Structure 1
Amino acid sequence: MGTEKQLPRGVTLRGDTINITFTYRGVRCREPLSNLPSTPANIRYAARLLAEIQGKIERDQFYYADQFPKSSKLKLFGSGSRAARVVDYLDEYLARCERRGISPSTIVGYRKCKSSLSSMHQVLITDLTPAILKTWLSETSTTAKTARNRLSFLRSAIDEAVTDGLLAANPVSLVTVARYLDVDSVPDRGAKDVDPFTPEEVSAILSTASGINEQWANLFRFAFATGMRPSEVCALRWGSIDWIGNTVKVSSAKVVGVIKSTKTRAGNRTIELTSDAIAALTSQKRFTFMRGEYVFEDPKLNKPWAGTDAIRKKAWIYTLRRSGVRYRHLYQTRHTFATANISRGCNLFWLATQMGHKGPEMLFRHYGSYLAEYDGQTSKAPLVIQK
């Protein structure tokens, strides 16, 4: 009892363990100072530490995780540390997304976003300011759309720092792309933006691909002739083809090596095969028909394509460079199919069904300018695919 009376205020003993008691955010907290024998010197140290903690609390500079990283109180106050960096929160957010079962393609996109933010990785989370983000935006050479996607990813990750009490507000929310990025200098031209190939460009692509690798040419020819999404072409199986009715059943897509269902319910569809599509399949038969279930494969590996990114890197970019055609994403084969049929004055309900849309509304949304241009005009030359 005599020892207890001599203890400084806020310092107590439980057995041989020194404890300090303080109030933080209205909560009475008691923390043991492990591995410190209850000697007079250590008791004086505990008193000094308690005074330091109380001073930091008064100045709003106290971070619970820094002082007590293993405390059960972190469930109340968060595990945020002032030593935490931006990359720590990006990694935490990615891990949480993976646990939630978010689609593989989205995870791949998030990883690319993380990589693009590398200049901020080592910035302490407490030092992240709108000024740093403004500088990053000013120096980026990407499109406005891509910049928004990257900031959205960063914003979601940094929200956890606010939850952990390291930040009073999310600095990313105070910065907008429109304000700091010259959106006119870098046009928003991504994979899904409509920028179709002309008939002459299609012929040049297929002619070049035929001279490089016949399997590449078959894949590109089929994509141009069907308007299927590149991920759907990757997942195409021989068993999905009706050689009598000249149709193909589309029900799956391959994204980063994973087979999944089509993008929408309407995407699960049966489409008609044109003579060009049949010709591409007939030519491809001798390569894969007897060997496996997938129609198109990487000829260097003799295995199905891992995904559209593999096609783009190994075959598409090289073919376009050799052909002299201006680069566009592989997805433009789908847009080329749509605009070519619109130019012929096709039935829009039929086209929507072929492409896996619920109705013509999506066609107006994506191809409105082409519909206006070709309204009532059927004299435009249709897309002619030649080897």
Structure 2
Amino acid sequence: MPNIRVRPDTGKLFLDFRHGGKRYREQTSMEDTKENRKKLERLAARIQRDMQLGTFDPGAYFPKAGFSTRSAIASATSAPPSTTATFTAAAIPPTPLFADFAQQWQAENAVQWRRSYQRTVADIVSVHLLPHFGQQEVGSISREQILIFRSSLAKAPGRKKETLSPRRINAVMNILRGILFEASDRYQFTCPFYNIKPLKVAKSDVQPFTLDEVKALLAAVREDYRDYYTVRIFTGLRTGEIDGLKWKYVDFSRRLILIRETLVAGEEDETKTIESNRDVQMSQVVLEALQRQFARTGTLKNWVFCNRQGQPLDHNNVTKRVWYPLLRYLGSTPRRPYQTRHTAATLWLAAGENPEWIARQMGHTSTEMLFKVYSRYVPNLTRRDGSAFERLLITAMARVDVTQNLPAAAHGAQYD
């Protein structure tokens, strides 16, 4: 639908839309008022209807010599005959093909992205964007096409033959948005990616293990993976952080784990964020687990947790062969290995640790995540759910005679 905009130099309203490979900026002499906007909205609705029917004729709406509201605006808005407007149409300047500009955009921005994100962007562009927009001029893409594309994503197959999730669709749309915004700024056209809000994404399911579940899990897990999961559960390290941990980042003397690298898709990479670059303190349980692990792999002087060939663990392989069979054996609810990170946060909170310290251990920028996501599990672990205050009131009020200050006649009296 045509957009109603305001010229910054004159304050006059104009219509901005595309049709037949041309961009139209139809200028008017109308002031930016609520009434005038409503008039142009009705005119824009008529134009949109004619476009959809294939009967739109720019000359009928916008004669080169100008027109009065008795022709276009008057018929659509019932504006007074004295209001006039003049219009001019401008063709869209040539712009590169979407495929060419997308490749250029990736090359220009790759320097600021982690390697794993570079792969993510390249995958989104090649799998989703190029088949749909690749051979189209980047400046000719319309908002309607973008919305149609988003609808098609909702029907596209994802993992395990399921459709793409709202989170994945938003990720694809964010890349498209970045490309179009850069192109519109560079080639001076109005970006069609406006008023397109991201899809609502359901909150991630946080299912931390209780301390009893942790004890059962560590007692039942394979001996060669017991220390791996001990460190993982009681430090809150991300999957890529523990899989990419090297012995040079384990400081036994200061009881610190230095998070400086991560492992993503089998490749070494930088940490997820600046805050992720942190020092994690070892508890006694973690210290002892790492000392036992050092006896196994310390002589290799590289990866802390590795396979028999000295190579880092394959996360997918460990998850399928060790993690899920372990949960099935225990009769536990199937949960992603990432829940070990949530478990560390809830156990720290339950123990009464300083939230700021916990945030630093987790690599969070602030304590907001703790209170927003994890704190709801604390009452179940510590009974800090109002029961302590209830006991305080019962104890205190039991020592108070609530009738001692009342007049004698009021004792036992009925109130109206």
Shorter-chain TM-score tier:
0.5 to 0.7
Once the two structures are superposed, the pairs formed by residues 193-208 of structure 1 within 5 Å of their partners are 194-199=206-211, 202=214, 206=218
Aligned counterpart, 2:256: 248
What does residue 317 of structure 2 align with?
Answer: 314
1:176 equivalent among 189, 197, 207: 197
Corresponding residue of 1:187 = 202
Alignment of 1:278-289 (within 5 A): 278-289=287-298
Residue identity over aligned pairs, in percent, reads: 21
Q: Counterpart of 2:261 in 1: which secondary structure?
A: strand
Q: How many residues align?
A: 281
Task: State the superposition RMSD in angstroms.
Answer: 3.8
| 1:320-342 CA distance string (max 9 Å, x none) | 33233555444332111111232
Q: What do residues 135-169 of structure 1 show as CA deviations (whole Å, max 9, x unaligned)?
A: 2244253443332222111111123443464x943
| Alignment counterpart, residue 292 of structure 1, candidates 276, 281, 301 | 301
Q: Show the counterpart of 1:103.
A: 114
Say yes or no: does 1:148 pair with 2:170.
yes
Partner of 1:230: 239
How big is the shift at 1:290?
A: 0.7
Paired amino acid for 2:202: P
The TM-score normalised by the length of structure 2 is 0.55
Matches within 5 A, 1:54-203: 60=91, 63=94, 80-81=95-96, 84-85=97-98, 87-98=99-110, 100-115=111-126, 117=128, 120=132, 122=134, 124-125=136-137, 126=140, 129-139=145-155, 141-163=163-185, 165=187, 168-178=189-199, 183=200, 187-189=202-204, 194-199=206-211, 202=214
Aligned: 1:218 with 2:249: no
2:360 & 2:343 partners in 1: Cα distance?
Answer: 16
**How far is the alpha carbon of 1:279 from its aligned partner?**
4.2
Deviations 1:236-265 (A, max 9, x none): 3334445466x2242412243335468445
Matching residue within 355, 375, 397 for 1:348:
355
Cα gap change, 1:173 to 1:330, in 2 (>3 Å): farther
The offset of 1:374, in angstroms, is 5.3
Q: Is the 2:233–2:344 contact (alpha carbons within 8 Å) kept by the matching residues of 1?
A: yes
- What residue number does 1:334 align with? 341
2: CA distance between counterparts of 1:122 and 1:345?
A: 55
Do the aligned residues in 2 keep the contact of 1:248 with 1:273 (CA within 8 Å)?
A: no
**For residues 150 and 301 of structure 1, do their structure 2 counterparts lie closer, same or farther at Cα, with a shift above 3 Å needed?**
farther
CA 208–170 in structure 1, closer or farther in 2 if over 3 Å, else same: farther
Task: Give the structure 1 partner of residue 312 of structure 2.
Answer: 304
Indicate how the Cα distance of structure 1 residues 326 and 105 shifts in structure 2: closer, same or farther if over 3 A, else same. Answer: farther
Max Rg structure: 2
Runs of 5+ in structure 2 lacking a partner? Answer: 1-88, 157-162, 386-416
Structure 1: gaps (5+ residues)? 1-57, 64-79, 379-387
Q: Structure with the greater relative contact order (CA < 8 A, sep ≥ 6): 1 or 2?
A: 1
Shift of 1:172: 3.3
Q: Distance in 2 between matches of 1:164 and 1:295?
A: 48
AA paired with 1:108? R
Change (3 A) 1:321 1:361: closer
Helix, strand or coil for the counterpart of 1:304?
coil
Rounded Cα–Cα distance in structure 2 between residues aligned with 1:122 and 1:208? 53
Distance 1:127 1:121 in 2: 8
CA distance in structure 2 between the aligned counterparts of 1:204 and 1:329, rounded to whole angstroms? 17
User: TM-score, length-normalised on structure 1?
Assistant: 0.59
**Aligned-partner Cα distance in 2 for 1:368–1:169:** 45
What is the distance in 2 between the residues matched to 1:260 and 1:205? 31
Q: How far, CA to CA, are the matches of 1:376 and 1:326 in structure 2? A: 23
Residues 170 and 202 from structure 1, CA distance in 2 versus in 1: closer, same or farther, beyond 3 angstroms?
farther
Paired with 2:321 and 2:346, the residues of 1 have a C-alpha distance of 25
Going from structure 1 to structure 2, the CA distance change for 1:206 and 1:333 (only over 3 Å counts) comes to same
CA distance in 2, matches of 1:102, 1:356: 19
